Amino acid sequence: MNLPIYMDGHATTRVDPRVIAAMVPFFGEYYGNAASRHHQFGWAARDAVVESRLAVARLIGATSREVVFTSGATESNNLALKGVMDASRARGNHIVTACTEHRAILDPCARLEQQGVTVSYLPVRGDGLLDVGTLAAALTPATVLVSVMSANNEIGVLQPIGDLARVAHSGGALFHTDAAQAVGQVKIDVSEDGIDLLSMTAHKLYGPKGIGALYVRRGLTLTPLVDGGGHESGLRSGTLNVPAIVGLGHAARLCMAEMSEEAERLTQLRNRLWHGLQQALPGVSVNGSMTSRLPHNLNVTFDGVDGEQLLIGLDDVAVSSGAACSSSRRSPSHVLTALGLREAAAQASIRFGLGRFNTDEDINYVVEKLRDLVARLRAPVPVFEIEDDAPELPPGWAAAPDRPNRGA
């Protein structure tokens, strides 16, 4: 076991050394532009992009023509939502989504609302799941798109995507899912599940940052966000980031080969962590469904503990109190409050994101660390009173000009 321990895999993952090895030649030896059609430098880059596109498509059950490379899931989400709504103005102006979505969905929806689009934000149950009946009741003749994330980035809950997509289609709407946390972790098949658009990113599946993809079902029309050259079938112009695309492709191949076995291993590690915390500490509770959950996720509330002190105390364990994009905010997680948690409980919650490089020894260390830390944080704080014979401070001392400046 090496310290510090990384358990923040929902924020990002370490790039697998095998992925790095696949990328390196495309920074040097094969440095051509994939759009250069008249020499072997361009051909080598083009072929690598073609192979990576096929690998990504196979991972999600798509065809390679349906994969559009982007800078990541945030851009993919923006292209999906804004592109569909702009191209479908004649059909309607209504989007349906869930209140527990990532900011990469909620913020584009807010922008579209400023442009006259109506957005319905549906509540979830106490276990974090969206009820199919709730979605059905929210659809109107003006509904163009339903967007529900496959796996929540904070509580790891897996939504019934296939059922939700069928309801959306029955109402005449398209179905999009932000699958950034799910792709490469659990099996996804866009054809079986009836998904029309799917967003993903490489850095959540042991690939590089700054590269992702949007699956667009063949035949759909989207308005591009970026114009200038007509790359990616006209949906995302700009010179392709070949080394990163190669990294995404190889990360996808590794997930295809190892996902089933790795999911089983991570489930065992996650359950070991949860059972260890239950045995070591009273007053711990899990947030979200444990039966419909990512194998590597655990979100736990520690009663009677200040969340910020808890994170500070875990000085050699990388964890999070919520989404990385919101980790600097003092407000409680909108996901946890949507589940019914009070502000204090939401702020006393920790998200564990286990990964490919975590071990049993890591779990043992974290359980012991938290047992001691939580016990100290829950202990009564001693109150020290000023002694009766202590000299009184003179009136106006705080404003005295010769008062020492302790902050200097």
17-255 maps to CATH 3.40.640.10: yes
- The second-level CATH assignment, the architecture, of 258-378 is Alpha-Beta Complex (3.90)
Out of 99, 109, 255, 325, the active site residue is 325
Q: Enter the DSSP assignment of 325.
A: G
Q: Measured between alpha carbons, how far is 318 from 3 in angstroms, rounded to an integer? A: 10
pLDDT at 331: 81
Question: What sign for the dihedral angle of Cα 149, 154, 155, 156?
Answer: positive
Q: Measured between alpha carbons, how far is 235 from 124 in angstroms, rounded to an integer? A: 33
pLDDT at 386: 42
Please give the average per-residue pLDDT across 368-393, as a whole number: 72
Q: Report which of residues 154 and 407 the model is more confident about.
A: 154
- The percentage of the chain sitting over the pLDDT mark of 70, rounded to a whole number, equals 91
In the chain, % helix, strand, coil (3-state, to 5) comes to 40, 15, 45
Please give the average per-residue pLDDT across 372-385, as a whole number: 78
Hey, where are the domains in the chain? 17-255, 258-378
Q: Report which of residues 160 and 393 the model is more confident about.
A: 160
pLDDT at 399: 41
Q: Measured between alpha carbons, how far is 319 from 132 in angstroms, rounded to an integer? A: 32
Please give the average per-residue pLDDT across 287-314, as a whole number: 94
Length of the chain: 408
Peptide bond into 4 cis (omega under 30): yes
Q: Measured between alpha carbons, how far is 162 from 99 in angstroms, rounded to an integer? A: 19
Q: Report which of residues 261 and 381 the model is more confident about.
A: 261
Task: Confirm whether 325 is a catalytic residue.
Answer: yes
Q: Enter the DSSP assignment of 28.
A: T
The count of other CB atoms within 10 Å of the CB of residue 27 is 11
Q: What is the pLDDT of residues 108-138, one digit of tens each?
A: 999 999 999 999 999 999 999 999 999 999 9
Q: What is the pLDDT of residues 2-60, one digit of tens each?
A: 999 999 999 999 999 999 999 999 999 999 999 999 999 999 999 999 999 999 999 99
How much is the mean pLDDT over the chain? 92
Q: What is the pLDDT of residues 190-249, one digit of tens each?
A: 999 999 999 999 999 999 999 999 999 999 999 999 999 889 988 999 999 999 999 999
Q: Is there a contact between 356 and 344 (Cβ–Cβ < 8 Å)?
A: no
Q: What is the pLDDT of residues 164-176, one digit of tens each?
A: 999 999 999 999 9
Report the SS3 class of residue 159. coil
Does the pLDDT at position 390 exceed 50? no
